[in-house]
Amino acid sequence: MQLANEFRRRNPGATVLASLTAGTNALAFVEFRPGLTGIVESAPAGQSLKIDGLRGRTLSSVYSELSQLPAPPALLYAAGRTMEAPPARASKAPQVLKAHGVGAPPVSTPAKSEASPVHARHVVPDTVPEQSWFNSTYCNGAHICLEGWDWANSGNIWYDSYEVVTMVGSEGTVNADLQLYYWESGWSLFTGGWGFWAQFYNALNVPGQVLGVNVSGATAGATFASLSGAGGGTTVSMAVR
């Protein structure tokens, strides 16, 4: 319930279709916007996500498997919708710009997936027990795997259905900010082509917590994930599968 309430507070334009708890894990079945649906799950670091063994299945089948109940009508309806296609002449999503830590100046050079570099005084992230667990659990076979300090950025995600998993090290003292964006675009006779990155999901990643976000119905190349604000001395991990 807490996960669902937090989702509603931070994502007022989205809809929680159903929610449940499974042991120490909390799950919310959501519609980010019409045709863009997913499952948000939180769990303690070291505890695998319940949806790990159910990837690729429909929202309704995952809900029924975990709850042992029929899926609510609202969930079935939302899962059957598709995103409205952009106009034929809508501008294409650009390559995501390079991410930076808090307070860093903006740059204009496009970059691929990356995380904050490891400084000489720090232990290499994947040697930290929590991050070693994350690496072995979520990075094997992942499209993208990032481990670093303070922030991580997926770059453009070239899949229409995928899962973003993030973790902030339990040594952290502040919550990090997880944001997912999609490319909103269009065309008109008066303005021509236009486009901008619009946030479709926002959550706090608490230190010592794993967050999983399954997304269905996206446009390949037109979404990206950003985790930031954990602090320069705090490890962060991100995988896209």
**Per-residue model confidence as pLDDT tens digits over 66-118:** 999 999 998 888 877 776 655 545 566 666 644 433 333 333 333 356 666 66
pLDDT given at position 104: 33
Q: What's the mean pLDDT when you consider all of the chain?
A: 81
pLDDT for the residue numbered 83: 65
**pLDDT in the model for residue 86:** 53
Give the number of domains in the chain.
Answer: 1
Rounded to an integer, the average pLDDT of 214-227 is: 87
Residue 6 pLDDT > 60: yes
What is residue 219's predicted lDDT score, i.e. its pLDDT? 79
pLDDT band at residue 168, thresholds of 50, 70 and 90? very high
Cα–Cα distance between 54 and 207 in angstroms, integer? 26
- As beta bridge partners, residue 192 has 188
Task: Report how far apart, in Å, the C-alpha atoms of 104 and of each of 76, 99, 107, 202, 237 are.
Answer: 44, 9, 9, 21, 20
Element spanning 216, H or E: strand 209-216
Provide the domain limits for residue 173.
Answer: 2-240
Q: What percent of the chain has pLDDT over 70?
A: 78
The reported pLDDT for the residue numbered 215 is 92
Other Cβ atoms within 10 Å of 136 Cβ, number: 10
Q: What is the pLDDT of residue 201?
A: 93
Please give the pLDDT value at position 93. Answer: 65
The whole-number pLDDT of residue 108 equals 31
Beta-carbon contacts of 153 under 8 Å, excluding residues fewer than 6 positions away, are: 96, 98, 99, 113, 114, 115, 146, 224, 225, 226, 227
Give mean pLDDT, residues 211-236. Answer: 89
Over range 20-32, report the average pLDDT: 91
pLDDT of residue 182: 87
pLDDT (0 to 100) of residue 217 = 84
Residue in the block written with tokens 């604000």? 229
Interatomic CA distance for residues 183 and 92, integer angstroms: 8
| Residue 209 pLDDT | 94
- Which range is most confident: 3-12, 140-149, 179-188? 140-149
The answer to whether 240 touches 154, Cβ cutoff 8 Å, is yes
Residue 122 CB-density burial (10 A; 0-12 exposed, 13-18 middle, 19+ buried): middle
- CA distances to 121, 142, 165 from 135, in Å: 22, 10, 11
Q: Is 87 or 181 the better-scoring residue by pLDDT?
A: 181
pLDDT of residue 122: 64
**Residue 228 vs residue 88, higher pLDDT:** 228
